[in-house]
Amino acid sequence: MRQVSITVNGAEHVLELEPRELLVYVLRERLGLTGTNVGCDTSSCGACTVLLDGESVKSCTLLGVQVDGHEITTIEGLATNGTMHPVQEAFHEQHGLQCGYCTPGFIMATVSLLDETPNPTEEEIRHALEGNLCRCTGYHNIIRAVQTAAGVEV
């Protein structure tokens, strides 16, 4: 077992972890932050996407012990005082989710995308989301949601 300190959504947590514990399970089962979902076992689907020091990563492809001393933001950390983040708002407005299982991953990937590329074209958006899979929406409204969050009229 190894003791680590991870800051998640602004709160520091000191945890005793088995090295093999994946970050996604640390978040979900150690910290009860079940918003981040597991959709596959080959790093293909992106449902587990969170922010690590502000950058999107797949939390299923990281060990909890690897992020000792780092900052994680999960979907639960986006809204502030009950007010949804603009990206969350945009997904709602544009009907960018149906079953919602892939949605936290898409939202975190979008936050990271817009941080790096504030005015992406449709093609740039589609490519930036190539690591996130959705089976319900056909992506059309997800793209609209990202565009809306970027301030583009859709």
Residues 90-129 that bind another protein (CB under 8 A): 91-93, 95, 97-104, 107, 109, 112-113, 122, 125-129
Name the minimum Å distance from CB 12 to another protein. Answer: 18
Q: Are 30 and 74 in contact (CB under 8 A)?
A: no
* Closer of 12 and 124 to another protein (Cβ): 124
Element (H, E) at 73: strand 71-73
71 interacts with another protein by CB under 8 A = no
Residue 141 makes CB contacts below 8 A (sequence gap 6+) with 94, 95, 96
Q: Which pair of tokens denotes residue 24?
A: 């996604």
Name the minimum Å distance from CB 8 to another protein. Answer: 12
Using alpha carbons, select from 124, 140, 123, 84 the residue that is nearest to residue 107: 84
> Which of residues 15, 31, 63, 111 is near another protein by CB under 8 A?
63
Name the minimum Å distance from CB 27 to another protein. Answer: 10
